[in-house]
Amino acid sequence: MPLNLRPIVVDDLPALLELNQRFVPMVGGLDADRMRWLFDAASWTCTTPDLDGFMIVLPPGIAYGSPNYRWIDARWSDYAYIDRIAVDDTVQRRGLGRAMYERLFADCAAAGIGRVTCEVNVRPSNPRSLAFHERLGFTRTGVRSDGPEGVTVAILSRRVAPGYSS
């Protein structure tokens, strides 16, 4: 599968919202207005020409109500926060997720951003995502268990060294 990644554009949002909703609760549910807000607030985005995967990354210091984002923002000032990533089941395990992360790492390193952060559910459990992030060099830096309906997440972080290349 070709890994032609490009930034998300406004016209992509309805299809990406539908993809997002198929992965709730592993990603947070959204409506169209909230998806547009995330897009507008994002510091970095990517998708594919077929819109079968996407990533939205937020910068530090924005007025975002996510308790996970606020936890990270209270601890670090030099980071990129992966708010959400989704890859369609039909193209999983073909390198698309890794390609999006590698592109993000390279772009963060080029911009002098020192850390990439995210969270992964540990209740309900998402062992494939935890293993994937560990293979990419993420480590657990915290656990939050005050989410809706008993959701517990591991806060993950990966240093992005200056000059990093994939």
Q: The CATH number of the domain where 155 resides is what?
A: 3.40.630.30
pLDDT of residue 94: 84
pLDDT of residue 7: 98
With respect to residue 56, please indicate whether it lies within any of the assigned structural domains. yes
Based on the number of CB atoms within 10 Å of its own CB, is 105 exposed (0-12), middle (13-18) or buried (19 or more)?
A: buried
pLDDT of residue 68: 93
* Residue for token pair 């809706």: 148
* Residue in 78, 141, 95, 129 with CA at minimum distance from that of residue 3: 95
Which contacts qualify for 47-50: CB closer than 8 Å, 24 or more apart?
47/5, 47/6, 47/7, 47/8, 47/12, 47/16, 48/3, 48/4, 48/5, 48/6, 48/96, 49/4, 49/6
Q: Which two tokens stand for residue 159?
A: 């240093």
pLDDT of residue 164: 46
* Residue in 129, 125, 85, 91 with CA at minimum distance from that of residue 104: 85
Q: Using CA atoms, how far apart are residues 16 and 110, in angstroms rounded to an integer?
A: 27
With respect to residue 15, please indicate whether it lies within any of the assigned structural domains. yes
pLDDT of residue 21: 95
With respect to residue 165, please indicate whether it lies within any of the assigned structural domains. no
Predicted structure pTM score:
0.92
Q: Report residues of the chain scoring pLDDT below 50.
A: 1-2, 164-166
Strand blocks (E) in 49-164: 53-58, 80-87, 115-123, 139-144, 152-159
pLDDT of residue 162: 65
Q: Considering its fold, how many domains does the chain have in total?
A: 1
- Apex 29 CA angle, 24 and 33, nearest 5: 155
pLDDT of residue 116: 98
Range of the domain at 19: 10-159
Report CA-CA distances (Å) from 53 to 66, 84, 144, 149: 22, 11, 26, 27
With respect to residue 37, please indicate whether it lies within any of the assigned structural domains. yes
pLDDT of residue 147: 63
With respect to residue 85, please indicate whether it lies within any of the assigned structural domains. yes
With respect to residue 1, please indicate whether it lies within any of the assigned structural domains. no
